[in-house]
Amino acid sequence: MAIETLYEKDGSLAPLQGKTIAVLGYGSQGHAHAQNLRDSGLTVIVANRPDSANGKLASKHGFTPTPVAEAVSKADLVSVCLPDEVQPGVYEQDIAPNLRDGQTLLFTHGFNVHFKTIDPPQNVDVVMVAPKGPGHTVRWEYERGGGVPALLAVHQDATGSAREKALAYAIGVGGGKGGILVTNFKDECETDLFGEQVVLCGGLSESIKKGFEVLTEAGYPEELAYFEVCHELELIINLIKRGGLDYMRYSISNTAEFGDYYTGPKIVDDASKQRMKDALTHIQDGSFAKAFRDDYANGFAWFKKQRAENAGHGVEGVGKELRRMMPWLNPVELQDGKAVEVDADGAAKA
């Protein structure tokens, strides 16, 4: 089943030219969308708290962070780049009261519309443009003339031109170069949650942590463990990204390829696949979304505990030291909640 895929040639910026786009939230996605859309020649305003790190970054980038309600009232298209857990409250308080006939409400993840924690009125378009990559990559790729593929969906077409506007937005953020896959909120949401929990972030993070623990608990130096389970990942992933598993296996040694087939299925076995299926069930039945919302309502207490424990894991400590000695990586560290490029001493670069 081939999914409909669009490119720059299949649309244009015209539906949004002369219109005002309000990007709500200048974080990972928002800072990329706002700058890419502006660099594409479109009119962009940004809503963010002006005094936070992201608010100050928006100002540094030439935007004037405004309150959400004001931005929504001025916009023709509202792009919701707020954290998923924050969206329902901000929607009720600042977005919904300022929506008007014919506006476009654009999400970058289907979470709240799919799980019905946001229920937009009938008189606005409701669409989604979800880049298939982290926000900082969305910006980097755009700056170097590339573009991160994106998913496009129309949940509600009040104006008869929802799709054209969403396509113009997707082209404006750079998605038209990599491919814009036409889908729906349910499929985007459930597959994205599965990917980030089971394979990309959750599964991968645990493999890195437990692989590091196995090697260091067996007495091997932390540095060797770090390079083996973490640093080399990019090299392998780049091969897979460029040519699939085939090309990666073509490029690695016979020894590694033999080990891939010999040991891989013992690590990720049928029982692992069943656990993946269970994770998908918890996504589909809404129990993950409920757990996420409940912890947010409890001040993200469990989330914050996990974040602190993971930040203290051994692979993070030795990793920082080693990355600082590789300036060509432009190593980044979180300092006071901000991502800053650091020098060999770990000091934030000017």
Ligand X SMILES: CC(=O)[C@](C)(O)C(=O)O
Ligand Y SMILES: NC(=O)C1=CN([C@@H]2O[C@H](COP(=O)(O)OP(=O)(O)OC[C@H]3O[C@@H](n4cnc5c(N)ncnc54)[C@H](OP(=O)(O)O)[C@@H]3O)[C@@H](O)[C@H]2O)C=CC1
Catalytic residues: 109
The one-letter code for the residue type at 39 is: D
Q: Which does 49 bind (CB under 5 to 8 A by kind): ligand Y, ligand X, none?
A: ligand Y
In whole angstroms, how close is the CB of 191 to ligand Y at the nearest point? 12
Q: How many residues bind ligand Y (CB under 6 A)?
A: 26
In whole angstroms, how close is the CB of 69 to ligand Y at the nearest point? 10
State the binding string over 120-159 for ligand Y (x if CB under 6 A, else -).
Answer: ----------xx--xx------------------------
How far is residue 130 from each of residues 18, 30, 96, 279, measured CA to CA in Å?
Answer: 23, 12, 22, 22
| Residue 37 · residue 21 · CB < 8 Å | yes
In whole angstroms, how close is the CB of 113 to ligand Y at the nearest point? 10
Q: What is the 3-state secondary structure (H, E, C) of 243-301?
A: HHHHHHHHHCCHHHHHHHHHHHHHHCCHHHHHHHHHHHHHHHCCHHHHHHHHHHHCCCH
**Token pair belonging to 101:** 């006939």
The helix/strand count (H/E) of the chain reads as: 17, 10
State the binding string over 79-118 for ligand Y (x if CB under 6 A, else -).
Answer: --xxxx-x---x-----------------xx---------
| Token pair 């990586």 in the structure block, residue | 329
Interface pick for ligand Y out of 35, 40, 54, 104 (rule CB under 6 A): 54
Greatest Cα-to-Cα distance within the chain, rounded to the nearest angstrom: 66
Choose one: 21-29, 121-129, 182-190, 284-292; the region binding ligand Y (CB under 6 A): 21-29
Pairing of strands 180-182, 5-6: antiparallel
14: DSSP letter: G
Interface pick for ligand Y out of 6, 11, 28, 248 (rule CB under 6 A): 28
232 is in an annotated binding site: yes
**What is the contact surface with ligand Y in residues (CB under 6 A)?**
25-30, 47-49, 52-55, 68, 81-84, 86, 90, 108-109, 130-131, 134-135
Annotated binding-site positions: 26-29, 49, 52, 135, 192, 196, 228, 232, 253
